[in-house]
Amino acid sequence: KGGRAIPFAARPMTQLEYELLHRTLAEAMEPLYQLLRNSTGFWYHNCSQRCLTFTDIAPRGLAPGERRSWLVLQRFVEGFFLHPVGLEVLVDHRDPDPRRWAVQQLWYNGHYFSSPQELAERYEQGTLAVARLAEPPSRQLFSSYEPRGRFATGTPTEVHGAKVCEPQGRRYRLRGNQLEYGGWSLAFRLRSSAGLQLFDLRFNGERLAYEVSVQEAIAFYGGHTPAAMQTKYMDAGWGMGSVTYELARGIDCPEAATYLDAHHLYDADGPVRFSSAICVFELPTGVPLRRHFDSDFQGGFHFYAGLEGQALVLRTTSTVYNYDYIWDFLLYPNGVMEAKVHATGFIHATFYTPQGQRYGSRVHSHLLGNLHTHLVHYKVDLDIAGTGNSFETVDVRFENISNPWSPGAR
């Protein structure tokens, strides 16, 4: 690209490399067994229960050709992304031979150490500021998705809420990857790197766009810990389009939706089927598409006219580690198309230190919600009234003129 070769060190991670990284970290954590067990109740080395896990950070280095990853150690409980233990480890895994991978630095509770042995010695000498964490509760863990608490109004929450229904059947047609709805027709596919793509979008037979597609999602973080300050995720490099897991009927999409499987050949020996990874459904918007009450200004009216507000939704999700992106394309019967993304899941959080409050908010006893920015990139290749399209912006400015029907007023 640009006349330069892409270095092999810039490749995405694979399951095999993660397994080798786990082995390297397990060996490196052996000297820290007592520190981790006594301070967290969990450990990494030789663990089968009450284990620690890790989240890795990108970019993997500070210069081209490097492959050094900061690993954030966390308790392996539900919502482990919200359970950092205060230890971050920098591993150099550039060498093709994993036996030469090595821990280069550690950060523990606000301080840097050159090796696990140095950190272990400081602990044994009693000169280490130890971050002791409370035992996580067996029920109602703050990071779990188990509903808890009650609304003060006392309105019923145990009964079903409103549902989407199709009283006279579906008003859209699916033939393979071809979708038709009202005046709309288009083709779609799920790209393993980036996600949902629409092609040949037409309304009443006239092409409006050659392609409208998701290209990238980026998140830039700030923080006091080395992992936080290094975090600049570019999610297409993490296979954002390939983590399109099964959609839950009645939650991720209405029960009446059409569900489609997806197939990905990504970090695998062959194609892998992801069942019910895409859904299509018609959605009442809850707002009229247009309406007017023509009053006679005498307590009556001349007429009322309105059109129901509905849209067809094409949806998938991407679970990129802690984040769940919900990707929607909406088609309206008046020729309007809308692209939406909803971010949910868990925040990318780091261990709380007083210095970290400059870069985020304390959201739990040992947890900092780091300040960050999301950017989402779409490709929009319009073909409105032909292919010779251009783009320009129009600015509005204040004009100070005399009032023509009231001289002297401006």
Instruction: Please give the positions annotated as active site.
Output: 235, 323
- In terms of DSSP H, where are the helices of 41-169? 116-125
Provide CB contacts within 8 A for 44, sequence distance 6+: 25, 26, 29, 32, 36, 51, 52, 73
- Secondary structure element (H or E) that encloses residue 137, with its range: none
DSSP line for 366-381: TEEEE-EEEEEEEEEE
Peptide bond before residue 59 is cis, with ω within 30 degrees of 0: yes
Q: Identify each DSSP E strand in 204-322 by its residue range.
A: 206-221, 232-234, 258-264, 272-284, 290-295, 301-307, 310-320
3-state SS class at 53: strand
Quote the CA–CA distance of 228 and 239 in Å, as a whole number: 21
What is the separation of C-alpha 261 from the centre of its chain, rounded to a whole number of angstroms? 21
Quote the CA–CA distance of 84 and 109 in Å, as a whole number: 11
Q: Say what the alpha-carbon torsion angle 243, 248, 254, 255 is, to the nearest 10 degrees.
A: 130
Residue for token pair 């959080």: 349
69: alpha, beta or left, given left = phi > 0 and alpha = psi -120 to 50? beta
